């Protein structure tokens, strides 16, 4: 592995002109965006919650990388970032999601796609002019260690699954990337050759429920009223089980990101949804980590809210989460922080306090983006809420979540 240090940038390198740098940046941001989408689909589909956590942290890293690259493109004479991508590169990003298992997906997405990014960033850094290309040098030096951490996670993940099937899928993605010319030769566009054949006919579909492994049983979460009847310690335990279940909120946001990424939406919307998805997975982590401190492991989850709305348009899913549910739950936030504080329970108080702050942001995202999407729409947010209520009623369940 080549170290990224001041010494890796040559004093005498000619460097890259604006057109060359812009061509690299457009390709990089396209791969980061593609990985945001692929990871959002697979965080729902992968069964172990620890892997969902890792993938969602990575998804948010990619969102920040794409954002920073797009900001730099705006400063350069860079052209439209999305209209300049070669069809062969589209195909690599399209295909990576169609792995038939989490391990195939991790091998293709992390070892090949993230691997290609790392290779290209290092290649650029070695040839960059230290003052003319300083903005890119600074940017890539921040991105590279994060991507190295993703790849290390993938290597550890794959240690137990190094089989023939995974190797074949990885080879297929590598082949597609090679056909697209890799990432550091954007000016040597390839002619389309014979299309490499996928090793299986599996096509990924965004799941209709949240995949979990055998450790988790469906249901078993108490309502707020039932939790209030318990002793302080029991109530706290039940409350952190409910935090753990925020897996469902993260999955709703991942589904929005997955679907909206192929629609004509501003990147800033995807960026906020990625942020919120990461917040919700952190809230689930609040649950699993606090339960573990209390000597317990998560055993229950309830995907009902995801299942109720996953077939609605992403606009309705976003509206239901941010303007129905998060508004509905908000009244519980301050009393919970005060309750933990009164009991001198700093560990629980810190988590509840940060959760409350995050949720205020989520409602703000909801108001901002629902207003944006309804700008030229005859419907109001109330009309959307009525459509959601009707849909949920037709599916035979109440609008209020059971926890
Ligand atoms: Fe949350
Ligand atoms: Fe939230």
Q: What is the pLDDT of residues 224-240, one digit of tens each?
A: 999 999 999 999 999 99
Question: What are the residues whose beta carbons fall under 8 Å from the beta carbon of 95, sequence distance 6 or more?
Answer: 108, 172, 173, 176, 198
Share of the chain above pLDDT 90, in %: 85
Alpha-carbon gap, residue 43 to 55, rounded angstroms? 6
Q: Where a domain ends, among 179, 201, 234?
A: 179
Cβ distance 117 to 31 under 8 Å? yes
pLDDT for residue 192: 59
Q: What is the pLDDT of residues 69-99, one digit of tens each?
A: 999 999 998 778 877 888 889 999 999 999 9
Q: Region 299-322: what's the mean pLDDT?
A: 97
Do residue 27 and residue 173 come from a single domain?
Answer: yes
Distance 41 CA to ligand 1 centre (A): 19
The number of domains in the chain is: 2
SS3 209: coil
Do residue 12 and residue 158 come from a single domain?
Answer: yes
Q: What is the pLDDT of residues 184-202, one digit of tens each?
A: 765 455 565 667 889 989 9
Determine, yes or no, domain membership for 207.
Answer: no
pLDDT for residue 12: 75
Q: Where a domain ends, among 160, 179, 198?
A: 179
Q: What are φ and ψ of residue 244, in 5° steps?
A: -55, -40
Q: What is the pLDDT of residues 385-396, one digit of tens each?
A: 999 999 999 877
Do residue 148 and residue 29 come from a single domain?
Answer: yes
Q: Region 205-232: what's the mean pLDDT?
A: 96
Do residue 119 and residue 223 come from a single domain?
Answer: no
Do residue 16 and residue 161 come from a single domain?
Answer: yes
Distance 149 CA to ligand 1 centre (A): 26
Distance 249 CA to ligand 2 centre (A): 7
Cβ distance 153 to 163 under 8 Å? no
Q: Which ligand is nearest to the CA of 243?
A: 1
Distance 333 CA to ligand 1 centre (A): 11
pLDDT for residue 189: 53
Give the tokens for residue 221: 């979460």
pLDDT at 7 over 70: no
Share of the chain above pLDDT 70, in %: 95
Note the pTM of the prediction, 2 decimals: 0.95
pLDDT at 4 over 80: no
Do residue 125 and residue 234 come from a single domain?
Answer: no
Identify the domain containing residue 228 by its residue range: 217-394
Q: Region 20-45: what's the mean pLDDT?
A: 96
Q: Give the residue ranges of DSSP H helices in 128-260.
A: 134-158, 164-179, 224-228, 232-244, 247-260
Distance 36 CA to ligand 1 centre (A): 20
pLDDT at 176 over 70: yes
Q: Where a domain ends, among 179, 197, 232?
A: 179
Do residue 260 and residue 363 come from a single domain?
Answer: yes
Could you give the C-alpha distances from 4 to 13, 126, 177, in angstroms and in order? Answer: 16, 9, 24
At 1, the pLDDT band (50, 70, 90 cuts) reads: very low
At 18, the pLDDT band (50, 70, 90 cuts) reads: very high
Q: Across all residues in the chain, what is the average pLDDT?
A: 93
Do residue 263 and residue 143 come from a single domain?
Answer: no
**CATH number assigned to the domain comprising residue 341:** 1.20.1260.10
Determine, yes or no, domain membership for 236.
Answer: yes
Q: Which ligand is nearest to the CA of 273?
A: 2
Determine, yes or no, domain membership for 202.
Answer: no
Do residue 118 and residue 228 come from a single domain?
Answer: no
Determine, yes or no, domain membership for 399.
Answer: no
Q: Region 381-386: what's the mean pLDDT?
A: 97
Distance 41 CA to ligand 2 centre (A): 19
Q: Which ligand is nearest to the CA of 284?
A: 1
At 2, the pLDDT band (50, 70, 90 cuts) reads: very low
Distance 276 CA to ligand 1 centre (A): 8
Do residue 172 and residue 238 come from a single domain?
Answer: no
Distance 372 CA to ligand 1 centre (A): 23
pLDDT for residue 9: 64
Determine, yes or no, domain membership for 115.
Answer: yes
Q: What is the pLDDT of residues 316-349, one digit of tens each?
A: 999 999 999 999 999 999 999 999 999 999 999 9
Determine, yes or no, domain membership for 187.
Answer: no
Q: What is the pLDDT of residues 104-154, one digit of tens each?
A: 999 999 999 999 999 999 999 999 999 999 999 999 999 999 999 999 999
At 182, the pLDDT band (50, 70, 90 cuts) reads: confident
Alpha-carbon gap, residue 208 to 303, rounded angstroms? 10
Do residue 231 and residue 166 come from a single domain?
Answer: no
Residues forming beta bridges with residue 218, ordered by sequence position:
301
Do residue 171 and residue 64 come from a single domain?
Answer: yes
Q: Region 300-315: what's the mean pLDDT?
A: 96
Print the SS3 string covering 105-142.
HHHHHHHHHHHHHHHHHHHHHHHCCCCCCHHHHHHHHH
Distance 357 CA to ligand 2 centre (A): 10
CB neighbourhood size of 223 (10 A): 13
Determine, yes or no, domain membership for 165.
Answer: yes
Determine, yes or no, domain membership for 191.
Answer: no
Distance 275 CA to ligand 1 centre (A): 12
Q: What is the pLDDT of residues 256-282, one digit of tens each?
A: 999 999 999 999 999 999 999 999 999
């Amino acid at each position: 592995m080549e170290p990224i240090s001041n010494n890796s940038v040559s004093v005498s390198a000619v460097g890259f002109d604006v057109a060359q740098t812009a061509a690299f940046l457009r390709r990089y941001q396209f791969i980061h965006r593609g990985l945001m989408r692929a990871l959002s689909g697979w965080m729902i589909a992968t069964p172990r919650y620890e892997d969902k956590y890792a993938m969602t942290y990575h998804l948010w890293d990619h969102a920040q990388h794409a954002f920073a690259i797009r900001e730099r493109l705006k400063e350069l004479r860079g052209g439209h970032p999305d209209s300049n991508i070669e069809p062969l590169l589209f195909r690599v990003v399209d295909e990576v999601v169609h792995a038939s298992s989490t391990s195939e997906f991790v091998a293709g997405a992390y070892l090949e796609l993230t691997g290609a990014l790392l290779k290209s960033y290092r290649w650029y850094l070695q040839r960059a002019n230290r003052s003319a290309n300083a903005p890119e040098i600074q940017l890539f030096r921040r991105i590279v260690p994060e991507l190295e951490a993703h790849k290390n996670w993938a290597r550890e993940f794959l240690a137990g699954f190094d089989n023939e099937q995974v190797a074949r899928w990885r080879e297929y993605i590598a082949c597609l990337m090679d056909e697209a010319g890799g990432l550091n030769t954007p000016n040597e566009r390839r002619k389309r050759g014979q299309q490499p054949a996928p090793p299986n006919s599996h096509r990924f579909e965004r799941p209709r429920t949240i995949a979990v492994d055998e450790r988790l049983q469906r249901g078993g979460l108490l309502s707020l009223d039932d939790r209030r009847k318990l002793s302080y310690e029991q109530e706290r335990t039940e409350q952190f089980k409910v935090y753990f279940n925020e897996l469902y909120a993260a999955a709703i946001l991942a589904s929005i990101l997955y679907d909206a990424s192929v629609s004509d939406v501003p990147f800033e919307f995807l960026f906020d949804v990625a942020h919120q998805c990461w917040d919700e997975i952190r809230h689930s982590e609040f649950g699993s980590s606090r339960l573990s401190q209390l000597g317990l492991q998560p055993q229950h989850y309830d995907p009902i809210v995801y299942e109720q709305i996953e077939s609605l348009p992403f606009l309705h899913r976003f509206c239901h989460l941010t303007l129905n549910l998060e508004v509905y739950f908000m009244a519980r936030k301050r009393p919970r922080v005060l309750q933990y504080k009164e009991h001198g329970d700093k560990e629980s108080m810190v988590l509840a306090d940060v959760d409350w702050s995050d949720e205020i942001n989520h409602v703000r995202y909801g108001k901002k983006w629902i207003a944006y999407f309804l700008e030229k729409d005859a419907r109001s947010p109330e009309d959307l809420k009525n459509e959601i209520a009707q849909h949920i009623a037709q599916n035979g369940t109440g609008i209020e979540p059971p926890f």
